[in-house]
Amino acid sequence: MSYIDPKQPTEKIRLIGFKVTENELQNTIYPVMHDCYDLGIIEHDTTTSFLRFCVQFWIAHYRQKKQQFDLSHQEIEQEEKKKLATIAAEKEAYERSTRHVIQQATKKLKKWENSSRGTSKKPIRHYSNQKTGQSQSNSSPRFFTSVTKRRTKIHG
């Protein structure tokens, strides 16, 4: 059965209880409750008034700590977002520089291939180590052309 205070509005009251030893009540709760009443923190020198104050105090304390936690959590998230943005920017810059290096290397390679093709069209002369001077190798295209021309003159 619950006690209804005549000063309180007549609304449905839900009692919430917890176990406290007699020692805790006499040595901790009552002295602190009387001190809170003497300091004007609570309106009535009753356990109910004191418990209401304690619950409100701890709820306010919890809300303050929760707000601090949320703010620090937001700061951490912002720092992480900045770090991720920095990493993404570095990666993009690296990829761009890598693509640029690859493009430059490809252009140089193509130029080198084109220049080497241009020089490979000219006949390559092979020199022998004979003392008489320069002689062409039998595999040279000019050698075959000149031999063929001589044969047609002789036979034709």
Mean pLDDT over residues 34-47, rounded? 89
pLDDT recorded at residue 103: 84
Question: Is residue 36 in a domain?
Answer: yes
Question: Is residue 12 in a domain?
Answer: no
Question: Is residue 26 in a domain?
Answer: yes
Relative orientation angle of helices 30-39 and 47-120, to the nearest 10 degrees: 90
67's enclosing H/E stretch is helix 47-120
> Rounded to the nearest 10 degrees, how much is the dihedral formed by the CA atoms of 129, 134, 135, 139?
80
Spatial separation of the C-alpha atoms in residues 139 and 141, rounded to whole Å: 6
CA distance readout (Å), 95 to 98, 101, 102, 106: 5, 10, 10, 16
Mean pLDDT over residues 59-87, rounded? 94
Question: Is residue 128 in a domain?
Answer: no
pLDDT recorded at residue 101: 82
Report pTM. 0.41
User: What is the domain extent for residue 49?
Assistant: 22-108
pLDDT recorded at residue 1: 45
pLDDT recorded at residue 92: 85
pLDDT band at 51 (very low <50, low <70, confident <90, very high): confident
Question: Is residue 9 in a domain?
Answer: no
Q: How many domains does the chain have?
A: 1
| CA atoms within a 13 Å half-sphere pointing along the CA-CB vector of 104 | 6
